[in-house]
Amino acid sequence: MAGAESSWSAVEEWAAVKVQAAARGLLARRAVRAVAEAEREAMNALLPRVAAVLVGEAGATGGKAKLAVAEEPMRLLLRLDAVRGARAYRRRVVAKVLALQDALDSGVN
């Protein structure tokens, strides 16, 4: 079967290309969605809590509260590391989370 390698027709090749493109698009959308969720969590949930710890508001100044807030940026970074794809967007969000973590580290110490 010398011709077995090229047994696909043009229509089958076109269909394979379309299926692969759709699969790659799905994976890209999932990656962007995961990074967007992490960014929303960082900006809407984590940022106010970090600000509260830095300002020293009541309720946020306890040792357990500070520890919980200090662990959240690392948890977000780990979630972002698990995302494959959306590289540039992921890098921007990682930079934001690292800035929050640096602010928290410099303010707590």
| pLDDT tens per residue, range 48-95 | 888 888 887 655 556 777 788 889 999 999 999 999 988 999 999 999
Q: Residue 58 is part of a domain; what is its CATH number?
A: 1.20.58.120
Residue 3 falls inside a structural domain: no
Residue 87 falls inside a structural domain: yes
Residue 2 falls inside a structural domain: no
For 60, residues 6+ apart whose C-beta sits below 8 A from its C-beta are 49, 52, 53, 66, 69
Q: Would you tell me how many other CB atoms lie within 10 Å of the CB of residue 65?
A: 15
How far apart (Å, rounded) are the C-alpha atoms in residues 11 and 2? Answer: 21
How far apart (Å, rounded) are the C-alpha atoms in residues 32 and 28? Answer: 6
H or E element, residue 60: none
Domain count, the chain: 1
With H, G, I as helix, E, B as strand and everything else as coil, classify residue 47.
helix
pTM: 0.75
Residue 20 falls inside a structural domain: yes
Side chain identity at residue 88, one-letter code: A
Domain that holds residue 26: 9-108
- Mean pLDDT, the chain, whole residue set: 86
